């Protein structure tokens, strides 16, 4: 076990929007009650000003660090970044991560019980947006007694949430760190999501979303994950890791079995994904990603960020072709044109979009430096107090 691990953690649950006071979503539909499952690492200081919110990507969840049981074989999805002496140093920061609304790891989503029917929501669950995800996180942060976040951090779809937080609740975000992200999905990104959803809804076991208690669209979800996983890797990584290597023999079988190593790898990724994720959640979350568009919600980028108050750090990866660096530079240029406080780093990496989950040493150094350099300015101008990092 990593001696700098946060150790054993216990998930918590916050419930709001009880009967008679439902949450109003961006679509105009309502939802309630709403459960949010979350984990915390480290301790709050006296004023709860050391809180750091971690936002997860599409297939992530609230379990970002540590382990739930001493027999767990795997730790949280960002365990390498959260803990004593790591980028999100739990000796200094109170780190929080919650499962998004629409997910399938405890927070309210399509697999949750609809109180009106006593059955899982299925497609009766309303369409949700990144903004809705942020609104539920805001309810949790209020519940925890936090008036302002020291930092909010996320990669991929988590990076979307970071941007939305900084624009929707600017007074609550001291610093914002978006990693492997963009201001909106490209047509290509939307296309990959659409094909993945089609794989699920074309599976005969999908049953129009009402498959709970039955086998469900396992094959369709596996194919969706295979498609998505291809976009997370770089061409360099796939070629260097697999090339055209055959899986078990040097001769061709002349049939449609999975002969190439890369085929077997994708089959494994797809199959294991079905063991931990709900197909309907995949539909809802990818649709929320498709809808995310800063310019549509807040106007042209320069105008959108003109009133932002956070100190920003943007990190991209040289071989990320899902969210290419140039798309992030577009935001940086817009912010600089209005005098926003923004730092930008492109990391040379062969790992593609998933580099922020895999190649963490460079990212750890960059984030550690940024977090320790955040300055909290006295609005009276009489003092300039730096957050203490020792």
Q: Which of the residues are catalytic?
A: 156, 320, 353
Q: 53: which DSSP letter?
A: E
CB 162 within 8 A of CB 169: no
Are 97 and 32 in contact, with CB atoms under 8 Å apart? no
Q: Which residues pair with 52 in a beta bridge?
A: 95, 151
Q: Which residues contact 254 (CB under 8 A, 6 or more apart)?
A: none
CA 273 to the chain's CA centroid: 16
| CB atoms closer than 10 angstroms to residue 233 | 25
**Cis-peptide into 33, omega within 30 deg:** yes
Tokens 């960059």 — which residue? 366
**To 5 degrees, how large is the angle CA 184–CA 313–CA 173?**
85
Instruction: Supply the DSSP string of 138-180, one letter for each residue.
Output: HHHHHHTT-SSBSEEEEETHHHHHHHHHHHHSGGGBSEEEEES
d(C-alpha 225, C-alpha 221), whole Å: 6
Radius of gyration of the chain (CA): 21
Helix (H) or strand (E) segment spanning residue 38 = strand 34-41
Contacts of the segment 237-242: beta carbons below 8 A, 24+ positions apart: 237/319, 237/350, 237/351, 237/352, 238/262, 240/350
Q: Distance between CA atoms of 97 and 55, rounded to whole angstroms?
A: 6
Half-sphere exposure of 112 (CA within 13 A, CB side): 23
DSSP string, 172-211: GBSEEEEES--SB--HHHHHHHHHHHHHHHTSTTSGGG--
């Amino acid at each position: 076990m990593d001696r700098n691990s946060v150790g054993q953690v216990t998930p918590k649950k916050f419930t709001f929007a009880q009967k008679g006071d439902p949450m109003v979503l961006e679509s105009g539909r309502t939802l309630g009650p709403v459960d949010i499952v979350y984990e915390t690492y480290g301790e709050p200081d006296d004023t709860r000003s050391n809180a750091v919110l971690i936002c997860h990507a599409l297939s992530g969840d609230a379990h970002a660090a540590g382990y739930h049981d001493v027999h767990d074989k795997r730790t949280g999805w960002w365990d390498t970044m959260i803990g004593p002496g790591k980028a999100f140093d739990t000796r200094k920061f109170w780190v929080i991560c919650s499962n998004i609304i629409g997910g399938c790891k405890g927070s309210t989503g399509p697999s949750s019980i609809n109180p009106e029917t006593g059955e899982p929501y299925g497609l009766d669950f309303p369409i949700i947006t990144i903004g809705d995800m942020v609104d539920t996180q805001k309810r949790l942060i209020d519940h925890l007694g936090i008036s302002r976040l020291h930092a909010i951090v996320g990669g991929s779809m988590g990076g979307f949430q970071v941007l939305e937080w900084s624009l929707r609740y600017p007074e609550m975000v001291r610093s914002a760190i978006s990693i492997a992200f963009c201001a909106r999905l490209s047509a290509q990104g939307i296309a990959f999501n659409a094909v993945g959803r089609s794989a699920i809804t074309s599976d005969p076991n999908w049953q129009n979303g009402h498959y709970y208690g039955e086998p469900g669209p396992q094959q369709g979800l596996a194919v969706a994950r295979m498609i998505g996983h291809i976009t997370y890797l770089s061409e360099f990584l796939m070629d260097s890791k697999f090339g055209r290597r055959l899986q078990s023999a040097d001769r061709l079988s002349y049939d449609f079995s999975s002969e190439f190593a890369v085929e077997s790898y994708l089959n494994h990724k797809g199959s294991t994904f079905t063991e931990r994720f709900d197909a309907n959640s995949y539909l809802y979350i990818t649709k929320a990603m498709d809808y995310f568009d800063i310019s549509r919600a807040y106007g042209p980028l320069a105008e959108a960020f003109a009133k932002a108050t956070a100190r920003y750090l943007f990190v991209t990866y040289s071989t990320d072709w899902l969210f290419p660096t140039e798309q992030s530079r577009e935001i940086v240029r817009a912010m600089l044109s209005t005098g926003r406080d923004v730092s930008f780093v492109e990391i040379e990496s062969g790992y593609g979009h998933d580099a922020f989950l895999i190649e963490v040493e460079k990212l750890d150094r960059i984030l550690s430096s940024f977090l320790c350099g955040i300055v909290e300015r006295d609005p009276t101008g009489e003092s300039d107090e730096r957050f203490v990092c020792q």
